[in-house]
């Protein structure tokens, strides 16, 4: 079967794809008319498509290929593990070496006290685990009414019913609804929503919405707060410096659990192993996925602080688990990925190339007539597109129209940058070199210039 499809032309493959493959977050009819881009191979930070284009991947796949593409060590580990033990479950008092080793390694690299991991197959599943964990925690403590989780509008926590409900994206809620007991407060997006406030005051105002919500809902009803240290899919929204300290103060004051969704920010992206370290957050639970295996295998999980684990454990059996929780091949590959990240100093490399090398070039994009705010933390950046930098105005066209045009030019110029509305975002593989950063920036600039000619 593979032999046949490998020798098909791009057009034939696109036709077959449109006929049988339903894509995530995609307008199926729109795609059928246009045909999907077919990626055939990848090495380092470059993808090659079925037409032979060499594309620099400014998004590390979907924010996940932290160590870069094509590292043979991971395939070798996967083969060895498949031959030795391709699968066994971790239910019913059974375990295996890869799950033990990975959980122990995560306890070593996670912040102090976070010594337990519950494995899942993805970030969405891990966040579903978190809903159950925090509600169970309060049940065992004799407060079953504490079950509301406070999250943020325009946050993203996945696409299962639980993950999609925690996320604050109304188009997702519109397709299938959301589960009960989730409350959303406003996001700390100063560029779009800060009005005349200073970023510092705005950060405090948005954080204090958590306190207001706790008081309105009742502290006896609130279980936890969840947030991404930096909102990723929401547009790489870096909160003002005042935001996280105030959120932490409020969580501490009211004794509610804090979940840091580190699915994107984990494993080096922000210049520390976890985004919580970068922002001084002390979470009870961290959601992990993506960079845990650099996308070489699907795996996610929840790293749990002793304080939560001990209470939940006291309650006896937790009625929760996935067939692939701690899958041996995924766990072995993730462990090898963590070895590479640590032994090759990839987190230190992020700090070295991000500041000042990428930072200077990224912030210089603000000289472009269509670029307003530029943000960068580690290797995670965004630029806001605007017709007027001084007033932070939005374009007259429907939100996202201009961002889409820039994305189209990026596509044509063989650079992957994503658009979220009228923000352009990057999160390249963490192994990107200064010379590759030059290519990324040059193609980004060219795409901005070409899009500007079309929209101005």
Residues contributing to the site for ligand PLP (CB under 6 A): 62, 122-124, 127, 156-158, 163, 228, 232-233, 261, 263-264, 287, 289, 300
The CA distance from 207 to 453, in Å, is 40
Which residues does residue 56 pair with via DSSP β-bridges, in sequence order?
Answer: 46, 415
The whole-angstrom separation of Cα 417 and Cα 424 is 7
C-beta of 416 vs 441, nearer to ligand PLP: 416
Pick the closer one to ligand PLP by CB: 98 or 275: 275
In the complex, what is the shortest distance from the CB of residue 158 to ligand PLP, in angstroms, rounded to a whole number?
3
Nearest alpha carbon to residue 267 among 57, 62, 63: 63
Least distance between ligand PLP and beta carbon 427 (Å) = 10
Nearer of residues 137 and 156 to ligand PLP, judged by Cβ: 156
Q: Given the complex with ligand PLP, which of 250 and 289 has the nearer CB atom? A: 289
Q: CA-CA distance, 132 to 275, in Å (whole number)?
A: 24
Closest separation between CB of residue 122 and ligand PLP, Å?
Answer: 3
- The distance of closest approach from Cβ of residue 426 to ligand PLP in the complex, given in angstroms and rounded to an integer, is 15
Q: Which two tokens stand for residue 128?
A: 């579903």
* The total number of residues written for the chain in this structure: 456
Please give the Cα distance from 22 to 30 (Å, whole number).
12
* Of 14 and 297, CB closest to ligand PLP: 297
Q: Considering the complex, state which of residue 276 and residue 386 has its C-beta at the smaller distance from ligand PLP.
A: 276
Residue nearer to ligand PLP on the CB measure, 235 or 372: 235
Half-sphere exposure for 275 (CA within 13 Å, toward CB)? 29
- What is the nearest approach in angstroms of ligand PLP to the Cβ of residue 401? 24
Provide, rounded to whole angstroms, the least separation between the CB of residue 321 and ligand PLP: 17
**E strands, 276-360, in order:** 285-288, 300-305
Tell me how far, at minimum, the Cβ of 329 lies from ligand PLP, in Å: 17
Q: Least Å distance between CB 287 and ligand PLP?
A: 6
Nearer to ligand PLP, 158 or 378 (CB): 158
Closest CB 166 distance from ligand PLP, rounded Å: 9
Closest CA to 206 of 178, 174, 241: 241
Residue whose Cβ sits closest to ligand PLP: 123
Q: Do the Cβ atoms of 378 and 348 come closer than 8 Å? A: no
9 by Cβ neighbours in 10 Å (0-12 / 13-18 / 19+) ranks as exposed
For the CB of residue 382, give the shortest distance to ligand PLP in the complex, in Å: 14
CA 151 from centroid of its chain's CA atoms: 15
Q: Are the beta carbons of 234 and 154 closer than 8 angstroms?
A: yes
| Shorter beta-carbon distance to ligand PLP: residue 129 or 447 | 129
- The phi and psi torsions of 359 (rounded to 5 degrees) equal -55, -45
DSSP letter at 44 equals: B
Nearer to ligand PLP, 65 or 451 (CB): 65
Please write down the long-range contacts of 311-320, taking CB distance under 8 Å and 24 or more positions apart: 311/137, 311/140, 311/141, 312/133, 312/136, 312/137, 312/140, 314/140, 315/136, 315/139, 315/140, 318/132, 318/133, 318/136, 320/129, 320/132, 320/133
Distance separating alpha carbons of residues 354 and 58, to the nearest angstrom: 14
> d(Cα 152, Cα 231) in Å, to the nearest integer?
10
Residues 6+ apart with CB under 8 A from 310: none
In terms of CB distance, is 268 or 300 closer to ligand PLP? 300
Token pair, residue 268, equals 């080096």
Report, in Å, the least distance between residue 259 CB and ligand PLP: 10
């Amino acid at each position: 079967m593979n032999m046949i499809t490998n020798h098909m032309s791009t057009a034939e493959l696109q036709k077959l794809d449109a006929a049988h493959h339903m894509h995530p977050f995609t307008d199926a009819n729109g795609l059928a008319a246009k045909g999907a881009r077919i990626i055939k191979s990848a090495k380092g930070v470059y993808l090659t498509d079925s037409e032979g284009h060499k594309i620099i991947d400014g998004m590390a796949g979907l924010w996940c290929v932290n160590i870069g593409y094509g590292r043979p060590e991971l395939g070798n580990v996967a083969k060895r593990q498949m031959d030795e033990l391709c699968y066994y479950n971790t239910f019913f008092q059974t375990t295996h070496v890869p799950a033990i080793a990975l959980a122990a390694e995560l306890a070593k690299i996670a912040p102090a006290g976070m010594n337990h991991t519950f494995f899942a197959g993805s970030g969405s599943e891990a966040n579903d685990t978190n809903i159950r964990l925090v509600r169970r925690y309060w049940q065992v403590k004799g407060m079953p009414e504490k079950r509301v989780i406070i999250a943020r509008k325009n946050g993203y926590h996945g696409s299962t019913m639980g993950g999609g409900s925690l996320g604050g994206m109304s188009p997702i809620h519109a397709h299938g609804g959301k589960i009960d007991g989730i409350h959303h407060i406003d996001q700390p997006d100063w560029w779009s929503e800060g009005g005349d406030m200073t970023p510092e005051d705005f950060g405090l105002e948005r954080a204090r919405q958590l306190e207001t919500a706790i008081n309105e809902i009742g502290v006896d009803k609130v279980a936890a707060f969840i947030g991404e240290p930096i909102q990723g899919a929401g547009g790489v929204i870096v909160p003002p410096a005042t935001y996280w300290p105030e959120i932490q103060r409020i969580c501490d004051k009211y004794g509610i659990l804090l979940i840091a969704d580190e699915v994107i920010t984990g494993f080096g992206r922000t210049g520390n192993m976890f985004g919580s370290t970068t922002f001084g957050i002390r979470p009870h639970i961290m959601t992990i996925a993506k960079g845990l295996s650099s996308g070489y295998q699907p795996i996610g999980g929840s790293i749990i602080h002793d304080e939560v684990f001990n209470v939940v454990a006291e309650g006896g059996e937790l009625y929760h688990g996935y067939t692939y929780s701690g899958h041996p091949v995924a766990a072995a590959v993730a462990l090898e990925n963590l070895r590479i990240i640590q032994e090759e100093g990839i987190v230190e490399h992020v700090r070295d190339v991000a500041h000042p090398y990428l930072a200077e070039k990224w912030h210089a994009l603000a000289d472009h007539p269509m670029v307003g705010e530029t943000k960068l933390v580690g290797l995670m950046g965004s630029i806001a597109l605007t017709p007027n930098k001084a007033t932070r105005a939005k374009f007259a066209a429907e939100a996202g129209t201009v961002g889409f045009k820039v994305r189209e030019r990026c596509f044509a110029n063989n650079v992957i940058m994503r658009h979220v509305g009228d923000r352009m975002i990057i999160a390249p593989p963490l192994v990107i070199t200064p010379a590759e950063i030059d290519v990324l920036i040059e193609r980004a600039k060219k795409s901005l210039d070409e899009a500007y000619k079309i929209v101005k």
